[in-house]
Structure 1
């Protein structure tokens, strides 16, 4: 029987949750900053085009995709470090890499100044950003899931996702403030200010993470981690879980970047001001961040799979109405489009940390989560804004993009309906409790309407 949750445990839990939220917020500020800026300004600065007005934006978003292509590599490298040397060691390394590359982006010369060298350096820095992001997500999740009680894991782990959401809000606010403060100079140099501000964010993030201890789950698995290669063990013992995690990511990763990044392109295409679009995205993500916690708590009560399934269905249903509302040009309609879309995303992202951490055994968990999460991110998250912008440039209509969004959500839906069993890694030690839950026991819990933890 698990021991009683004490006042000291509650205090320690607050510390790790706060550290996870703050660290994730600061790190994902850097990563999302490029994504938002690519849709707003980077195309004209680094990829000028005299042809179709969307060609420069497509090129800038291709840089976004290249960053995503590097995420699986970063996930494998930092996942190995996290499983062998510790979660804290990996997280300190990802934060240092992310902060340094983002600051350097703010110093890059424009295409008009340096020619082809400029976009090449930008893409190189984006690759390094992607590698850092690939190692960040799993570690930010594990410092919570491996330190909290199993019956509250969905609720508490969802806070790591709110850190990501708040990072997007912070980056969007920074760009909006820079645009308001610099006016006509925003295109010339004002856009650089949020990138240069990452130096301060790096200092704060290092301070927060330096004071973290190792997770209880990692310490308990110390005997295993020195004996095996985490990646080899993941592929040998958990290939099904890796494929399942990849399928789960298609809906939220693809749709997230269509709603967060491509929507800025589409909004400008139909004549919506950048201010309206930025604030709709900010409000949508704030709602998203709150709802992640709500859905995470709900998953502790009814199970991970039903909540995740609801989010995937919601994404399919909302794919076309999102663009129909944007076509109206009404500020209220645009806000509604973003808010409703982000609620569907929140149902998946809020449950994802606990769901994914329960798929893998402790000694391979960082590597397994990173592999499944980042391979899918590279395909769905990295390519969706590029493909969507190309479809818009070629057709001039939102319908192909809505079908693309619904199609990615359908991949997740099929996986949840036909391939999910609600099970964790067979015989895996449960984070923080040391209890094992077999696939059959998890299935029984899911069927009974309790968490498949």
Structure 2
């Protein structure tokens, strides 16, 4: 009885840790980025999601080759022990990075909020809603493409779990490669066009994705996963870190980014598994219900981003809504017309 309870407790601790550190990791990358490269720099921490998926899936595939008796006795502990080593390396790196200049200046001038949670919710409710809405394209759908698909393949299509694991690993590797490319593209054309394009592709490809999966062909299943990651998830997830950082002012940026992202995680991560399972049962195992679920999430995110402001020209030192940031140059410096001149 105590073993599963302790495991659940540790997973909760892990969730709290991710919730607190994700915002810090992406902001550290974005705020240290050179001029005009915030999208690229912010995309690198984003690759950690698929890198973790690739590593975790690979380790699980390896330990699953053990006989059941050995797996239950000690094999399942190996991934957790390995993750402790990675956490130690991450803590070492994090402790030796200096604060970005904008944060240091805010601290010196007393510009940091004393009640960041309250100030974010009261002062920036629109930005929080935009941050949550933007997650609908990848928050729940990423779970469907990488986790639920394994259950769907084994239980609905009677395929070996190894087929799904192999496809997910290949797709995760491709995702790692393309996320920085989409982030870099958003530095040139803007966050909104890249994000909206990826979300619309994800919605349009929801039908073909499950049609390919339903063929039961391992090659076509892998192809479907690679395509949706490369042209759906990549362009949505790549620019997201820079977009979030540019959405909130420095004094509440950390809290705003974390609240928006993790609130989306709670809503989508909590309800998507239950909803996907219920839809499969309700539809008698037919995949069309999952097509609608994926497309709906992607379209909600696309509509949210269409209603959001373009942020890639903003200065991270400016308050959203201010004249200077709206007339900033692509590298984040105020344009000449934004700087007051004397007659």
Report the TM-score range of the alignment, normalised by the length of the smaller protein.
0.7 to 0.9
Which residue number corresponds to residue 271 of structure 1?
158
Does residue 127 of the first structure (1) align with residue 12 of the second (2)? yes
Greater CA deviation, 121-130 or 140-149?
A: 121-130
Which residue number corresponds to residue 275 of structure 2?
387
Mapping of residues 222-371 of structure 1, within 5 Å: 222=107, 223-225=109-111, 228-269=114-155, 270-343=157-230, 344-371=232-259
Residues 106, 112 of structure 2: 8 Å contact kept? no
Q: Distance in 2 between matches of 1:333 and 1:265?
A: 17
Q: Distance in 2 between matches of 1:329 and 1:162?
A: 29
Mapping of residues 75-114 of structure 1, within 5 Å: 114=1
Q: Distance in 2 between matches of 1:235 and 1:262?
A: 33
Does residue 204 of the first structure (1) align with residue 92 of the second (2)? no
Residues 173, 282 of structure 1: 8 Å contact kept? yes
Residues 302, 451 of structure 1: 8 Å contact kept? no
Which residue number corresponds to residue 41 of structure 2?
156
Residues 303, 451 of structure 1: 8 Å contact kept? no
Give deviations 1:287-308, integer Å, cap 9, x for gaps.
1111111110100110000000
Does residue 408 of the first structure (1) align with residue 297 of the second (2)? yes
Unaligned runs of 5+ in 1: 1-113
Does residue 138 of the first structure (1) align with residue 23 of the second (2)? yes
Evaluate the alpha carbon distance shift between residue 416 and residue 303 of structure 1 in structure 2; reply closer, same or farther with a 3 A threshold.
same
Give deviations 1:112-168, integer Å, cap 9, x for gaps.
xx3xx4443333332222211111210110111111224111111111101222111
Unaligned runs of 5+ in 2: 334-343
- Following superposition, the deviation at residue 358 of structure 1 comes to 0.1
Does residue 176 of the first structure (1) align with residue 61 of the second (2)? yes
SS in 2 for 1:272: coil
* TM-score normalised over the length of structure 1: 0.67
Q: Distance in 1 between matches of 2:227 and 2:234?
A: 10
Give deviations 1:28-73, integer Å, cap 9, x for gaps.
xxxxxxxxxxxxxxxxxxxxxxxxxxxxxxxxxxxxxxxxxxxxxx
- Following superposition, the deviation at residue 386 of structure 1 comes to 2.6
Residues 128, 256 of structure 2: 8 Å contact kept? yes
Evaluate the alpha carbon distance shift between residue 424 and residue 310 of structure 1 in structure 2; reply closer, same or farther with a 3 A threshold.
closer
Count of matched residue pairs: 329
Evaluate the alpha carbon distance shift between residue 242 and residue 226 of structure 1 in structure 2; reply closer, same or farther with a 3 A threshold.
closer
SS in 2 for 1:281: helix
Q: Distance in 1 between matches of 2:326 and 2:193?
A: 13
Evaluate the alpha carbon distance shift between residue 320 and residue 187 of structure 1 in structure 2; reply closer, same or farther with a 3 A threshold.
farther
Mapping of residues 190-201 of structure 1, within 5 Å: 190-201=75-86
Evaluate the alpha carbon distance shift between residue 154 and residue 340 of structure 1 in structure 2; reply closer, same or farther with a 3 A threshold.
same
Paired residue for 1:165, among 42, 46, 50? 50
Residues 196, 302 of structure 2: 8 Å contact kept? yes
Residues 46, 237 of structure 2: 8 Å contact kept? yes
Give deviations 1:311-353, integer Å, cap 9, x for gaps.
1101111212222211111111011111111121111110001
Greater CA deviation, 211-220 or 355-364?
A: 211-220
SS in 2 for 1:358: helix
Higher helix share: 1
Residues 187, 312 of structure 2: 8 Å contact kept? no
Q: Distance in 2 between matches of 1:227 and 1:356?
A: 18
Which residue number corresponds to residue 50 of structure 1?
none
